[in-house]
C-alpha cells in the first residue's frame, strides 16, 4: 500500500480518536459536574434531614416528658381524690354521730389491714397500691395433705426408689402456681438436684417442672414455684419428685392413705408401683375465672350494751360486672342483715348480742376504699 495513503489514514484516525476523546472528556466532565451537583444536593438534603430528624427527636422527647408529666399528674390526682374520699367518710360518719344521736363510731380508710380479720375473711387482700381491700390476687391451697409422720428415701443407689409421686385432682380449671413438699437432703454428700414436676401420665412427659439445687434445699416444708400451667378440672395429675443423686433426698409422707383424692406411687426398677400412702404436699393455684368473690370481715367491736341501730357509710370502686353487698351482725357473725349506706338500719330484728361486725361481699374485680358506721345502743 502507498506509504502516503497509510500515513494519511493514520492521521485521520488520530484526529477521529482525539475528537472522540474530546467529546468523551466533555461528557465525563458534564457527568462529573452533575454528580458533584447531586452530591451537594444530597449533602444539603442530609443536613435538612438531620435538622428535621433532630427536631422530630426533640419533639418526641417533649411528648414523652409531657406524657410522663400527665401520668404523674394523673397519679397525684387519683391519690388526692382517694384522700378526699377517705376524709369524706370520716366527715360523713362524724355527721351521722350527731344527726342520729349515735353512741359510738368506727371508720376504716384501709391505710393498713389492721381492722380486717384476714384469717377469717375469704380471698381478701389489702391492696397497698390503692390502700383498699378486695379479692386476693394470690394463689391459694387447692388440695393438701399435711399430716406426715414418716420419711421415704429417693436416691439412685440401687436400693431405694429413684422417684415418688402423688396423684391429685382439682374441682375447677385453675392455673398452678407452686407446690409444697417436705424435703431434706439425706446427707451432706447429696449434691445433685431434685426435680419436681407435674404430669398427666405418671410415666409420661413433664407438663411443668423445676429443679432445686441441693444447696438450696431447706429441711422441712418447702414452697416450690412452678411455671404457670392451666390444670383441668377433675383430671388426674401426678406430682412427681425424682433425683439422680446417689445419696438422695428424704420425702415426708403419711403411711396411711388419708387423702381420698389420690395415692402416692414409688418408682422402683423403672416401674411405678402403688404404695398406698400419701406424700405430704400442697398444690397452690390461682383462682379460676368464676371464683370472683371475696368476703371481707372486720374484727368484732364489743359493746357494754346491745346495739339497737346502725348508720353505715362506704366508698367503693365497682368494676364492670362487679358488685359489693354489705352486711352487719351483732352476735359475732352468726346472723347477718344487709346494710344500705346513709340510712338508719334497725338491728333489733337480729338475735341479741353485743359483738358487732361488718361484712363486705365482693363479686368481680371491685374493691372497698373506705367504710364506717355509728351505732345507737340500748340500756342493757
Q: Is 234 left (phi over 0), alpha (psi -120 to 50) or beta?
A: left
CA dist 88 and 84 (Å) reads 6
- CB count within 10 Å of CB 127 equals 17
Residue-wise pLDDT for 311-362, tens only, equals 999 999 998 878 999 999 999 999 999 999 999 999 999 999 999 999 999 9
pLDDT at 239: 95
Structural domain contains residue 313: yes
DSSP of 277-312: -EE-EEEEEPPPTT--EEEEEBPPEE-SS-EEEEEE
Q: What is the share, in percent, of the chain residues with pLDDT greater than 90?
A: 53
Give this prediction's pTM.
0.55
Residue 12 lies in a domain: no
Position 1 confidence tier, pLDDT thresholds 50, 70, 90: very low
**Domain end call among 285, 310, 343:** 285
| pLDDT for residue 42 is more than 60 | yes
pLDDT given for residue 86 in this prediction = 84
| 26 part of a folded domain | no
Looking at the domain assignment, is residue 20 inside a domain? no
Q: Quickly list H helices, the chain.
A: 3-99
Q: With DSSP H G I counted as helix, E B as strand and the rest as coil, what are the percentages for the chain, rounded to 5?
A: 25, 40, 35
Domain that residue 213 falls in:
140-285
> 140: which 3 cell numbers?
391459694
In a domain, 45, yes or no: no
For residue 6, the model assigns a pLDDT of: 45
Q: Tally the domains of the chain.
A: 2
Mean of per-residue pLDDT scores for the chain: 85
Categorise residue 121: left if φ over 0, alpha if ψ from -120 to 50, beta otherwise. beta
Q: When comparing pLDDT for 369 and 32, which is higher?
A: 369
Let me know if residue 191 belongs to a domain: yes
Please state the rounded mean pLDDT for residues 241-247.
95
pLDDT exceeds cutoff 60 at 277 = yes
Residue with more model confidence, 70 or 113:
113
Look at residue 70 and tell me whether its pLDDT is greater than 80: no
Buried b (16+ CB within 10 A) or exposed e, 214-238: beebeeeebebebeeeebeeeeebb
Instruction: Answer with the one of 285, 304, 339 that is the final residue of a domain.
Output: 285
Maximum separation of any 2 CA atoms in the chain, in Å: 152
**Between the ranges 25-39, 119-133, 187-201, where is the mean pLDDT highest?**
187-201
Give me the pLDDT at residue 71, please: 66
pLDDT for res 351 = 95
Residues 281, 150 within the same domain: yes
- The mean pLDDT value for 113-133 works out to 91
**248 and 126 within one domain:** no
pLDDT at 72: 67
Segment 46-55, tens digit of pLDDT: 677 667 666 6
- Classify 364 in phi/psi space as left (phi over 0), alpha (psi -120 to 50) or beta: left
Q: How confident is the model at residue 379 (pLDDT cuts 50, 70, 90)?
A: confident
Above pLDDT 70, what percent of the chain? 81
pLDDT at position 160 is 87
Question: Is 1 inside a domain boundary?
Answer: no
In this structure, the answer to whether residues 262 and 148 fall within a common structural domain is yes
> Is residue 17 situated within a structural domain?
no
- More confident site: 163 or 14: 163
E strand map for 186-263: 194-199, 208-212, 220-231, 237-243, 249-254
Q: Bridge-partner residues for 222, per DSSP?
A: 181
Verify that 198 and 229 share a domain, yes or no: yes
Of residues 259 and 85, which shows the higher confidence score? 85
Question: What average pLDDT does this structure show over 138-158?
Answer: 87
Q: Of the ranges 9-23, 242-256, 277-291, which one carries the lowest mean pLDDT score? A: 9-23
Asked if residue 172 and residue 130 are part of one domain, the reply reads no
Q: Both 305 and 320 in a single domain? A: yes
Structural domain ending residue among the three candidates 244, 270, 285: 285
Task: Provide the CA 64 distance to its chain's centre, in angstroms.
Answer: 28
CATH code of residue 308: 2.60.120
CA 165 to CA 126: how far, in whole Å? 36
**Rg of the chain over all Cα atoms, to the nearest angstrom:** 39
Residues 6+ apart with CB under 8 A from 105: 93, 94, 96, 97, 372, 373, 374, 375
User: Do 211 and 240 belong together in one domain?
Assistant: yes
Which letter does DSSP use for residue 343 in this model? S
For residues 230 and 354, membership in a common domain is answered with: no
pLDDT score recorded for residue 363: 87
Regarding whether 233 and 348 lie in a shared domain, the answer is: no
pLDDT value for 197: 97
- pLDDT of 200-227, one tens digit each? 999 999 999 999 999 999 888 999 999 9
Give pLDDT, residue 136.
82
Q: Which residue has the higher pLDDT, 9 or 325?
A: 325
Same domain, 272 and 357: no
Residue 7 has pLDDT above 60, yes or no: no
Structure confidence by residue, pLDDT tens digits, 303-325: 999 999 999 999 999 988 789 99
Task: Name the least confident of 34-43, 136-145, 166-175.
Answer: 34-43
Nearest to 114 by CA among 106, 123, 122: 106
Q: Are 185 and 230 members of one domain?
A: yes
Q: Are residues 151 and 253 in the same domain?
A: yes
Amino acid at each position: 500500500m502507498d506509504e502516503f495513503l497509510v500515513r494519511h489514514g493514520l492521521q485521520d484516525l488520530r484526529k477521529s480518536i482525539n475528537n472522540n476523546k474530546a467529546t468523551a472528556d466533555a461528557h465525563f466532565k458534564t457527568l462529573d459536574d452533575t454528580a458533584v451537583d447531586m452530591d451537594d444536593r444530597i449533602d444539603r438534603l442530609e443536613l435538612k434531614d438531620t435538622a428535621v430528624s433532630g427536631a422530630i427527636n426533640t419533639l418526641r422527647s417533649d411528648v414523652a416528658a409531657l406524657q410522663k408529666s400527665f401520668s404523674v399528674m394523673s397519679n397525684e390526682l387519683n391519690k388526692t381524690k382517694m384522700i378526699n374520699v377517705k376524709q369524706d367518710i370520716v366527715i360523713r360518719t362524724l355527721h351521722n354521730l350527731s344527726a342520729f344521736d349515735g353512741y359510738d363510731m368506727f371508720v376504716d380508710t384501709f391505710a393498713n389491714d389492721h381492722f380486717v380479720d384476714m384469717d377469717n375473711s375469704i380471698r381478701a387482700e389489702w391492696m397497698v397500691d390503692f390502700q383498699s381491700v378486695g379479692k386476693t390476687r394470690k394463689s391459694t391451697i387447692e388440695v393438701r395433705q399435711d399430716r406426715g409422720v414418716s420419711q421415704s428415701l429417693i436416691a439412685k443407689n440401687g436400693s431405694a426408689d429413684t422417684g415418688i409421686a402423688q396423684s391429685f385432682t382439682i374441682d375447677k380449671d385453675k392455673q398452678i402456681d407452686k407446690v409444697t413438699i417436705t424435703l431434706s437432703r439425706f446427707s451432706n454428700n447429696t449434691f445433685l438436684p431434685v426435680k419436681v414436676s407435674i404430669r398427666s401420665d405418671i410415666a409420661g412427659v413433664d407438663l411443668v417442672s423445676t429443679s432445686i439445687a441441693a444447696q438450696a434445699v431447706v429441711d422441712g416444708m418447702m414452697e416450690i414455684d412452678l411455671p404457670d400451667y392451666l390444670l383441668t378440672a377433675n383430671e388426674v395429675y401426678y406430682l412427681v419428685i425424682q433425683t439422680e443423686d446417689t445419696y438422695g433426698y428424704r420425702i415426708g409422707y403419711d403411711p396411711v392413705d388419708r387423702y381420698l383424692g389420690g395415692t402416692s406411687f414409688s418408682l422402683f426398677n423403672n416401674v411405678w408401683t402403688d404404695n398406698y400412702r400419701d406424700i405430704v404436699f400442697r398444690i397452690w393455684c390461682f383462682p379460676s375465672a368464676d371464683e370472683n368473690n371475696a368476703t371481707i370481715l372486720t374484727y368484732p367491736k364489743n359493746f357494754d350494751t346491745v346495739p339497737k341501730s346502725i348508720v353505715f357509710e362506704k366508698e367503693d370502686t365497682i368494676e364492670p360486672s362487679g358488685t359489693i353487698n354489705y352486711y352487719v351482725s351483732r352476735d359475732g357473725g352468726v346472723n347477718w342483715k344487709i346494710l344500705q349506706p346513709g340510712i338508719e338500719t334497725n338491728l333489733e330484728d337480729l338475735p341479741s348480742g353485743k359483738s358487732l361486725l361488718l361484712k363486705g361481699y365482693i363479686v368481680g374485680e371491685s374493691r372497698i376504699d373506705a367504710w364506717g358506721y355509728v351505732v345507737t345502743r340500748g340500756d342493757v
